[in-house]
Structure 1
């Protein structure tokens, strides 16, 4: 009997043509899976660092236009990376763990009820 094939994983980098890259992971993990995990961790850390630096620039009303623009460009790059990581991780969740993306999973008839 053959083992089920794992779902393709969205990698945290695009192809040379700018298209999404996918990997069918080895059940035991492999070099590319570990590299993707490490790349995602670096992207998330960089996003947090850029956010902290951008807040300082945006908080200062005397920040030069070029610094504000640079902060915005870097924030957009980091947001793109983080959204790709979130999409990739969401695709790897078991179906029962996936929500509808609309917040908590409470029924409408429980709104306003106290916990």
Structure 2
């Protein structure tokens, strides 16, 4: 599979996040590129703003899901309403995935004891 320059840059950005105190923000640049914040974890103003924005995005997603469910449950809903609901749901899913990715990257790495392998860890988690 051929990787594009965008794919390579995204992988590099994620590697940078994993290796230091860099946070993926819940918004993008005008060009659709991810925004990152270099932080020391002290709860800067921009970091708190990002936390608030994530909360708003997740809350909006719940509201959109509730409204879209009504439209999708009605078999007589007009095509335009169904399409609009789908577009809004896709936007909310994109936001939720970005929040999950950002929060996942900030989780501490689990302590793995010497001698454990991936097969044993996977079996224990089932």
TM-score (norm 1): 0.79
Indicate whether 1:43 and 2:68 are aligned: no
1:7 Cα deviation after fit: 1.9
Higher relative contact order (CA 8 A, sep 6+): 1
SS at match of 1:13: strand
Uncovered stretches (5+) of structure 1, i.e. residues with no partner: 98-104
The 5 A counterparts of 1:64-103 are 64-96=78-110
The 5 A counterparts of 1:1-115 are 6-96=20-110, 107=123
SS at match of 1:54: helix
Distance 2:95 2:75 in 1: 28
TM-score (norm 2): 0.72
Q: How many residues align?
A: 99
- What's the C-alpha RMSD, in Å, of the aligned pairs? 2.1
Contact 2:21 2:40 in 1 (8 A): no
Distance 1:58 1:27 in 2: 42
Structure 1 stretches of 4+ with a deviation exceeding 2 A read: none
